[in-house]
Amino acid sequence: MELPQMPELMGLSLLLGLLALMATAAVARGWLRAEEETCSRSTGQKANGLPLDKSLRSKKQKQHQRNRKEKPQQHNFTHRLLAGALKSHSGNISCMDFSSNGKYLATCADDRTVRIWSTKDFLQREHRSMRANVELDHATLVRFSPDCRAFIVWLANGDTLRVFKMTKREDGGYTFTANPEDFPKKHKAPIINIGIADTGKFIMTASSDTTILIWNLKGRVLSTINTNQMNNTHAAISPCSRFVASCGFTPDVKVWEVCFGKKSDFQEVVRAFELKGHSAAVHFFAFSNDSRRMASVSKDGTWKLWDTDVEYKKQQDPYVLRTGCFEEASTMPCRLALSPDAQALALASGSSIHLYNTRRGEKEECFEQVHGECIADLSFDITGRLLASCGDRAVRLFHNTPGHRAVVEEMQGLLKRASNESTRQRLQQQLTQAQEALRSLGALKK
């Protein structure tokens, strides 16, 4: 038997050994690369303080956050007379309304919610609110019912009224339930205001053309008013519930009486009187709490306080008590609020507010850049001590120092003429309260 030659065996062994070595090296390189990637990923996670299994989720969340539109920063405002700020809405607030019992403030915003705030918390650090959701829409206007057991809103997309009922719970909160059916669509132009009569007999809606509708509470139109003012800029119901008024392109404010019978049955709407005295279009107007006074602001650059406690059925016309200058009104739209006692007047243009004493017609306070947007609504609370404004995602509350000063001036004048001791004591008490309020705010003039 012949043995294989040695050179051939050695060559075969070397070839097999080389192939085995190359395979081992390839496996080792792959293993090392995998180890490096694992170590690098683990090190990055540890540096960020994240568990291994949350790394990918964290990266996705960060990417999602970058893609999301950043929320606008909340506008900051400070002033010595700022009493507080209500901040719970995530969208811009378009309307406010104080309840007739003075306990609540309703606000609506484009975040699809209506919030009900407790007024007793206004001067506290924390402000509580209850939320009512507006399904598949958002409200642009809101108004309480006279009994404070319901509120109505105007729907931005639905172009109609929706009624929400408020049911009190055992824990003191409320449940909000929308009526199954909204009011029928009747207006052909954008809505500028809505209102409910304090008697609860009718609802008013006004659009920017020349139309005002009077409804019953079940959604039936009782009367249609054509204001003949080219266009409407504002309309409102008087606190006494007798009148509906409007202003617009013409230089006057027109007032109608909504008449009901002895059995509360609707009869008719008749022209009552007009406020004539401005020389240009009227931007806005407001009533005092007793409806005996009205205030208006016009494009002619003036505001006026009117005595409307007249016998219009005997052809007696309202007359001007005071005229003041407000140049901003000649160049831009303005809003107006009249305190319940008609002693103070607030005018808003852009994002600024100006406070006037109506007894003297002088401007006493000015708040500039109050909101990040133009002021959308302006209103005194029912006590007249606070002024509320909205124009971004917050409601800001101000102390009404012109109102307190007007009370001081009025009481001092009445005290000089008072002859009865009990009357003098009552007047002195009101004078002292107003002076103390001003002193606590650092606004008492020496």
pLDDT over threshold 60, residue 138: yes
How open is the CA angle 434-438-439, to the nearest 5 degrees? 115
Once rounded to an integer, what is the mean pLDDT over residues 211-220? 96
Once rounded to an integer, what is the mean pLDDT over residues 140-145? 98
Share of the chain above pLDDT 90, in %: 72
Distances (CA, A) of 144 to 141, 163, 173: 11, 10, 17
pLDDT digits (tens, 9 = 90+) for 40-95: 444 444 334 444 344 445 555 555 454 444 555 678 889 999 999 999 999 999 99
Helix (H, G, I), strand (E, B) or coil at 194: strand
CB atoms under 10 Å from CB of 351, counted, come to 19
Once rounded to an integer, what is the mean pLDDT over residues 92-117? 96
pLDDT over threshold 90, residue 368: yes
When comparing pLDDT for 72 and 340, which is higher? 340
CA–CA gap between residue 95 and residue 335 (Å, rounded):
12
pLDDT at position 45 is: 43
Distances (CA, A) of 363 to 234, 248, 300, 378, 424: 24, 25, 18, 17, 30
Among 14-23, 108-117, 228-237, the minimum mean pLDDT is found in 14-23
pLDDT at position 46 is: 39
Tell me what the pLDDT averaged over the chain comes to.
87
Once rounded to an integer, what is the mean pLDDT over residues 158-187? 93
pLDDT at position 51 is: 46
Q: Tell me which residue has tokens 């008024």.
A: 245
Exposed, middle or buried by CB within 10 Å (0-12, 13-18, 19+), for 429?
Answer: exposed
Once rounded to an integer, what is the mean pLDDT over residues 107-128? 94
Once rounded to an integer, what is the mean pLDDT over residues 375-391? 96
CA–CA gap between residue 141 and residue 146 (Å, rounded):
16
pLDDT over threshold 70, residue 330: yes
Amino acid at 444: L
pLDDT at position 172 is: 82
Measured distance between the N- and C-terminal CA atoms of the chain, rounded to whole angstroms: 136
Once rounded to an integer, what is the mean pLDDT over residues 288-315? 96
- Do 238 and 273 contact (CB within 8 A), yes or no? no
pLDDT digits (tens, 9 = 90+) for 397-445: 999 999 999 999 999 999 988 888 889 999 999 999 989 989 988 887 7
CA–CA gap between residue 307 and residue 277 (Å, rounded):
13
Q: Which of 330, 335, 338, 339 is nearest to 352 (CA)?
A: 335
Once rounded to an integer, what is the mean pLDDT over residues 234-259? 97
Once rounded to an integer, what is the mean pLDDT over residues 381-390? 96
Instruction: Please state the pTM of the whole predicted model.
Output: 0.81
pLDDT over threshold 60, residue 20: yes
Helix (H, G, I), strand (E, B) or coil at 145: coil
pLDDT at position 59 is: 52
